[in-house]
Every structure is written in C-alpha cells, then in structure tokens.
Amino acid sequence: MLELTAFELAQKIHAKEISAREAAEVANTRVEKVEGDINAFVTTTPDIATERAERVDERLKNGGSDSVNLWETVPLVVKDVLSTKGTRTTCGSKILEDFTPVYNATALEKFGEDLIMVGKANMDEFAMGSSTENSAYGPTKNPWDLSRVPGGSSGGSAAAVAAGEGWWALGTDTGGSVRQPGAFCGMVGLKPTYGRVSRYGLVAFASSLDQIGPMTRDVRDSALLLQAISGHDPNDSTSAKVEVPDYLSELENGVSGLRVGVVTELMNAEGVEPEVRAITEKTARDLEEAGADVGEVSLPHATYGLPAYYIIAPAELSSNLARFDGVRYGHRATASGVHEMYRRTREEGFGDEAKRRIMLGTYALSSGYYDAYYAQAQKVRTKIVDDFRSAFRDFDILISPTCPTAAFEIGDKVNDPLAMYANDICAVPASLAGVPAISIPGGLSDGLPVGVQLMSDHFTEPTLLRAAHAAERASEFRFEMKP
C-alpha cells in the first residue's frame, strides 16, 4: 500500500478495496517505525488519523463514492505552519510551542471535518530556511541519505512523503520552500500562482509571496491535491476570484506544439553544478522529443531576484512577526514590566535566523534606509515581473534547475547564512513574479535526486501540470520509498 500514489490509493478506497482506516493505520505504523531516524514531524496525530478515517469509511458506506471527494480519503501530512483546530501549530518555533489554534486553514477546510491528518510536519522556524535545520524541534533527515538535509523550509513534509509516512503533504512556498525540499527528496513540489490558494490560516511569513502547495509522489497527485485546495476565499482578499479549472482532465494531452524556453540566466547561475545543468537539459530534450518546440529564453534580471528577495521577505517578516509579543499568542516570559516582558519573550522564543531576519527587515524598512533597500528591491521585483511577461509572449513553459545542487550535508551551511540563501537563486524569481512553478525529479546525481523546475504564466497551472506530466513520463525517475 505504501508504494501506491495518493491517486491510486484514493481510487482503491473509493472502490472499497482498501478502507481509509487501513490506510491510516499503515501510515501510523510507518511513522512509528521510521520517525526516530527521520524526525519529519513536530507532532504526530495517529488517533486523529484513525478516528477520522473511520468516519470517512462510514460516509463511503452510507453515501457511496460520490459523497466523498477522492482527496478526502488519503491521509495527509500537514506542514506545521498551517492552523489546525485543536492540534498545536508551532511553526517550528519555540515561541509557539504550546499554541493551539481555534480554527483550520481554509486549505484544510476543503477536506471537511474528517481531514485524515497524519501529523504536523517539521519545518524551518516560521518557514525561514532551506534545510529544516532552523527548527526548534531538531533537524529533519533526508530519507535518501540520513546525513543530508531534506531541504526547507517544508523539509518535514517532503521527508515524510519520501519515507512513506504519508502519501502526500501540504507545504508552503515563499521563495522555494515547496520546490526545493521536493527536489532534495525526489518529490514533486508545486507552488501555485499567487492567489490561487487561500492563505487564510497560513501563519504569515512574507504575505506578498506566501502560497500553500502540494508535495507529492507524482504529477497526477499534485493535480489532485491542487484541485482540493484551490479557489477564492472571502477570508483572504488576495485569493483570486478566478474559476478553478479541472487540473486532471488535460494532464494526458501531451506537449505537442507547446513552446518551452530554457532560462539562460538560471542555467548559468552561480553555483549550478554541471550535473544539475545536464539533467535540466535532458528534461528539455525529453519535452522536445515529446513534441514541444524548445528554445532558449532570457530573464535578464532573474539572478537579481536573490538579493531582492532577501530584502523583501525579511521586511515583510519583521512586520508579520511583531504579533508574537507574549500578549496574544504563544510563549510569555515572566518580567516585571511590559517592555521587559516583550523583550524577554522574543529573546527566549525566537531562534537565531528569526532574530537575524527581524533585524535585517527592520533595518531595510527604517527611515533613511527604506529607499536604498526596500524601495530598490521592489524596483528589481518589477523588472523581474516584466522579464516574465515578455518571456511568456514567446513561450508557454520556462525551464531551469530547481536549485544549484542536490541535497547538501547537515551542518554544511547552517552557520553561513549567505551560502544557505544562495541555494534559492533559481526558485525566487517565480515567487517574486507570482507565477506558478513546479519541481519534478529529473534524475539522480551521485545517487541523490535532482529537481528540474518548470514555470508558466499566471493561472495556467493546467498547462504547467501537463508539461510536467509529459516530462515525468519521459524521465527514468520513479518514486521509491526510502530509507
């Protein structure tokens, strides 16, 4: 059962060949077996999974398969930055160690009351990081090689699915956090168009960039999970009032006539290893053989995305994290006066990376520096938006590496923030432009998975998924449970 895709499992549950309860128990058992090695979860919820799975089975029995959406039947791993009613939500931070939300994120509400949740997945604190080492709950290990990071910030979600602790997961992506851990763990990671999925109940990091996205074993699962979570939400004014397409129906239509551009600047970005470049080129050739028109495309300002992102994201974060003051949420330090209480609460509750970024962001927004940093970064962001706009006049799909390398060693970059940030160079342009981007496993380098990134224009996920599906089919890589 653990080797099935979520889609396959859902079909079997719909057909009553397997019960949801059996699936939940298989996941719970697997968690017990491997969690000691992987540490993919901050909180596991085996009883919730089993109880709710029983209710799903009950509904299937009474109402038949039409009464339960396919996606409701498969146990889900939930990144610990998504609010879960009645289950603690730490965001990987000590400051929220005992915080239990009173409502569910909208993306989770789409599963109804019986969301079969395996647990809350480990992550870099408040989603800041690319390795899951910035978690207050210990690092997550990469199931492909336990001495390596799973990527971040959704490293727990990626590792859990790669290790068979669940069939699929929700992560969040602000500057690559679904795509990069997806790449490092041999998973498919999709960042939808900004506005496609409601951010209500997603604890905010950088509000102009954050999106919730599926982390799955293949592209079909990605389409199904996106189907579940998409759509306008009156509780999030940045969620778009656009129709939700049927992501699965076009999946098999192939890429004949699709125009695919290989992004020159990202292929040659700093640190991109030759093997990674070769695997990306191979994916482009596969698409060409499948009937796409493949050429080269330039995003002239793409590599300036990295410094712009590392101003904009901390600036927004410094404001968003101001709410953690010991009064409204989470940890509260004991102190004699209110100012001392604020100071100690934040000193005790936040980790080093959170503190670093709060300072960077506050500095970039402060009077006298605002124009030089924040405003300048916003201008760069506009340039990147324009680059994409003109690229999409000639191309339907853009292709690049997801990140410069395969998974690095635990401890390698954690004391060198700039080296850690540099890993995001290929991922942040799509975030700044708000366009959808997917990472699929392109192949192996020294036995480790390498991700290839496909990007498309706003709200064209059906085309993006169709191209990703064709590339996946052509590649030799197939999901394999590890370790």
By C-beta, is 313 or 360 nearer to ligand GLN?
313
Please, is 102 exposed, middle or buried when counting C-beta atoms within 10 Å of its C-beta (0-12, 13-18, 19+)? exposed
Closest CA to 267 of 442, 58, 82: 442
Q: Kindly indicate which of the ranges 18-26, 126-134, 396-404, 463-471 contains the residues binding ligand GLN, using the contact rule CB under 6 A.
A: 126-134
Q: Kindly indicate which of the ranges 71-79, 167-175, 326-334, 453-461 contains the residues binding ligand GLN, using the contact rule CB under 6 A.
A: 167-175
Question: Is 182 among the residues that bind ligand GLN (CB under 6 A)?
Answer: no
Which residue sits closest to ligand GLN, CB atoms considered? 177
Residue 84, helix vs strand vs coil: strand
Question: Is 173 among the residues that bind ligand GLN (CB under 6 A)?
Answer: yes
Tell me, yes or no, if 153 is annotated catalytic: yes
Closest separation in Å from C-beta 306 to ligand GLN: 10
How many Cβ atoms sit within 10 Å of the Cβ of residue 207? 15
Closest separation in Å from C-beta 455 to ligand GLN: 15
Please, is 72 exposed, middle or buried when counting C-beta atoms within 10 Å of its C-beta (0-12, 13-18, 19+)? buried
For residues 89 and 80, what is the distance between their CA atoms, to the nearest angstrom? 5
Closest CA to 40 of 126, 118, 95: 118
Tell me, yes or no, if 177 is annotated catalytic: yes
How many Cβ atoms sit within 10 Å of the Cβ of residue 363? 16
Question: Is 122 among the residues that bind ligand GLN (CB under 6 A)?
Answer: no
| Catalytic residue (one of 19, 177, 431, 456) | 177
Please report the DSSP string for 195-251 in residue order: TSB--TTBPPSSTTT-EEEEEESSHHHHHHHHHHHBS--TT-TTS---PPP-TTTTT
Question: Is 318 among the residues that bind ligand GLN (CB under 6 A)?
Answer: no
Closest separation in Å from C-beta 269 to ligand GLN: 15
Please state the three-class secondary structure of 282-318 as a single string. HHHHHHHHCCCEEEEECCCCHHHHHHHHHHHHHHHHH
Closest separation in Å from C-beta 232 to ligand GLN: 23
Q: Kindly indicate which of the ranges 174-182, 225-233, 236-244, 362-370 contains the residues binding ligand GLN, using the contact rule CB under 6 A.
A: 174-182
Question: Is 176 among the residues that bind ligand GLN (CB under 6 A)?
Answer: yes
Question: Is 158 among the residues that bind ligand GLN (CB under 6 A)?
Answer: no
Phi-psi region of 326 (alpha: psi -120 to 50; beta: other; left: phi over 0): left
Cα Rg for the chain, rounded, in angstroms?
21
Please, is 476 exposed, middle or buried when counting C-beta atoms within 10 Å of its C-beta (0-12, 13-18, 19+)? exposed
By C-beta, is 327 or 359 nearer to ligand GLN?
359
- In single-letter form, the type of residue at position 208 comes to S
Q: Contact with ligand GLN (CB under 6 A): which of 119, 129, 261, 429?
A: 129
Question: Is 128 among the residues that bind ligand GLN (CB under 6 A)?
Answer: yes
For residues 425 and 194, what is the distance between their CA atoms, to the nearest angstrom? 19
Could you tell me how many residues of this chain bind ligand GLN (CB under 6 A)?
Answer: 13
Q: Contact with ligand GLN (CB under 6 A): which of 10, 95, 127, 464?
A: 127
CB burial of 17-40 (b: ≥16 within 10 Å; e: otherwise) equals ebbbbebbbbbbebbeebbeebbb
Segment 408-447, which members bind ligand GLN (CB under 6 A)? 424
Q: Contact with ligand GLN (CB under 6 A): which of 84, 93, 174, 222?
A: 174
Question: Is 175 among the residues that bind ligand GLN (CB under 6 A)?
Answer: yes
Q: Which residues contact 268 (CB under 8 A, 6 or more apart)?
A: none
Q: Contact with ligand GLN (CB under 6 A): which of 153, 157, 345, 456?
A: 153
Closest separation in Å from C-beta 466 to ligand GLN: 25
Question: Is 44 among the residues that bind ligand GLN (CB under 6 A)?
Answer: no
Query: 165: which 2 tokens?
Result: 């602790």
Closest separation in Å from C-beta 193 to ligand GLN: 15
- Give the Å distances, CA to CA, from 344 to 321, 329, 347, 483: 15, 14, 5, 42
Q: Kindly indicate which of the ranges 175-183, 270-278, 433-441, 472-480 contains the residues binding ligand GLN, using the contact rule CB under 6 A.
A: 175-183
Task: Put the strands of the sheet holding 41-44 in their side by side order.
Answer: 41-44, 117-121, 76-79, 168-173, 211-216, 188-191, 437-445, 448-456, 397-401, 259-263, 293-297
Closest separation in Å from C-beta 480 to ligand GLN: 26
By C-beta, is 111 or 205 nearer to ligand GLN?
205
By C-beta, is 164 or 171 nearer to ligand GLN?
171
For residues 479 and 158, what is the distance between their CA atoms, to the nearest angstrom? 13
Query: 254: which 2 tokens?
Result: 């192939």
Q: Contact with ligand GLN (CB under 6 A): which of 93, 104, 130, 460?
A: 130
Cα 107 → chain centroid:
13
Closest separation in Å from C-beta 57 to ligand GLN: 35
Q: Contact with ligand GLN (CB under 6 A): which of 28, 177, 239, 303?
A: 177
Tell me, yes or no, if 336 is annotated catalytic: no
| Catalytic residue (one of 131, 153, 157, 456) | 153
By C-beta, is 150 or 176 nearer to ligand GLN?
176
Closest separation in Å from C-beta 177 to ligand GLN: 3
Q: Where in the sequence numbering do the catalytic residues fall? A: 79, 153, 177
Contacts with ligand GLN by CB under 6 A lie at 127-130, 153, 173-177, 205, 313, 424
